[in-house]
Amino acid sequence: MNIKRTIVEAAEEALKLLAAPSNPKQVYAKIMERSLYTFGAKDPLSVLRIQMERHCDSTSWDSEAKRKLFSKNKEGLFYLMNCKPAAGGVTVTENIDNLELVKKLANKLKQDTVLRIIDHLYALEPEEFEFFCQRFLDRYGFEDMQVTQRGRDGGIDVYGTLEVGISPLHVAAQCKRYKKGNKVSRPEIDQFRGAIQGDYQQGIFITTSTFTQDAQDVAFKRGCVPIVLIDGETLAEIMIDRGIGVTTSHIPIYDFEIDLV
């Protein structure tokens, strides 16, 4: 798989592969050997040297980069700042790359959103949760999803169709707004399957809590209607990935790349 890298990122990867302080010529050779970057400059080695100097913590250049990635030893060889050579060739992690910090923050924001979604679902009344699931399935791509009338569902809370190829697949869902400690068990899955057997080709069991291992084991049984299990965390993850009730902010990350000028 081709990965689009900048020169600096290619140099980082090359130094990781070299696993020892190296000069720009050695770094360039490793970049070419592993096809880490395609240079467009007439003198790629000079461009590489300049970029490594700009991102070096010991540079005195006026055009130095704010983001420091490399250091030099006494022999003038480059090594990664977060892998400072120590006695016996052991590497010591000193800092985390800024991009990694951004990724960690993004992941934390995602997990916070997951918890907010689950907390909101816990606050819904059982009937409200059924209507929420109906809207969720509609947004996901199911069609004609309807909530079954109270007292006449027989274990089916929502039903509709899903287009698969050239034919519609009849689906039914059961929606349980359970607290965290109240897991959905195998008997509930068996009962739901019995209610839809013969009328529907697929079942979906949605809960704000989780499923016991026995319930997970019987979700797909040969010769029986398959039951898709969606717990609270999975439901929130799908909402985030599909943009269902969730908005995203795209923050650009900039890096100057002299070879592209």
Q: Predicted confidence band at 94 (pLDDT cuts at 50, 70, 90)?
A: very low
The torsion angle over the Cα atoms of residues 33, 39, 45 and 51, rounded to 10 degrees, is -110
Both 168 and 230 in a single domain?
A: yes
The torsion angle over the Cα atoms of residues 199, 184, 135 and 228, rounded to 10 degrees, is -50
Q: Predicted confidence band at 153 (pLDDT cuts at 50, 70, 90)?
A: low
**Rg for the chain (alpha carbons), in Å?**
28
Tokens 């010769």 belong to residue: 223
Both 217 and 181 in a single domain?
A: yes
- The answer, yes or no, to whether residue 59 has pLDDT greater than 90, is no
Token pair, residue 62, equals 């006026």
Instruction: Give the pLDDT of residue 234.
Output: 95
Tokens 């689906």 belong to residue: 171
SS3 235: helix
Can you tell me the distance from the alpha carbon of 126 to that of 179, in angstroms, rounded to the nearest whole number? Answer: 11
Instruction: Give the pLDDT of residue 258.
Output: 63
- The answer, yes or no, to whether residue 1 has pLDDT greater than 70, is no
Mean pLDDT computed over 53-78: 82
SS3 93: coil
Both 142 and 208 in a single domain?
A: yes
Per the prediction, the chain carries an average pLDDT of 86
- The answer, yes or no, to whether residue 87 has pLDDT greater than 80, is no
Token pair, residue 30, equals 């490793």
Both 123 and 199 in a single domain?
A: yes
Q: Where does a domain end: 39, 60, 95?
A: 95
Both 77 and 199 in a single domain?
A: no
Domain containing 150 equals: 112-242
Both 139 and 228 in a single domain?
A: yes
> Of 82, 59, 65, which is closest to residue 7 (Cα–Cα)?
65
The domain tally of the chain equals 2
Question: What is the distance, to the nearest Å, from the Cα of residue 91 to the centroid of all Cα atoms in its chain?
Answer: 29
Residue 129 inside a domain? The answer is yes
Regarding predicted confidence, which is higher, 161 or 59? 161
> Of 127, 108, 106, which is closest to residue 116 (Cα–Cα)?
108
Both 64 and 152 in a single domain?
A: no
Both 142 and 233 in a single domain?
A: yes
- The answer, yes or no, to whether residue 95 has pLDDT greater than 50, is no
Both 85 and 35 in a single domain?
A: yes
Q: Predicted confidence band at 92 (pLDDT cuts at 50, 70, 90)?
A: very low
Residue 261 inside a domain? The answer is no
Query: Distances in Å between the alpha carbon of 63 and those of 51, 60, 150?
Result: 10, 9, 71
β strands within 42-94, DSSP E: 70-72, 78-80, 84-85, 91-92
Mean pLDDT computed over 109-120: 93
Q: What is the pLDDT of residues 180-237, one digit of tens each?
A: 889 999 999 999 999 998 899 999 999 999 999 999 999 998 888 999 999 999 999 9
* Interstrand relation of 158-164 and 143-147 (parallel, antiparallel or unpaired): antiparallel
Both 48 and 156 in a single domain?
A: no
SS3 39: coil
Provide the 10 A C-beta neighbour count for residue 189: 24
- The answer, yes or no, to whether residue 143 has pLDDT greater than 70, is yes
Both 231 and 139 in a single domain?
A: yes
Residue 251 inside a domain? The answer is no
Q: In this structure, what CATH number is given to the domain that contains residue 124? A: 3.40.1350.10
> Of 232, 165, 238, 154, which is closest to residue 199 (Cα–Cα)?
154
Instruction: Give the pLDDT of residue 110.
Output: 92
Both 144 and 235 in a single domain?
A: yes
Regarding predicted confidence, which is higher, 182 or 254? 182
Q: Where does a domain end: 95, 122, 149?
A: 95
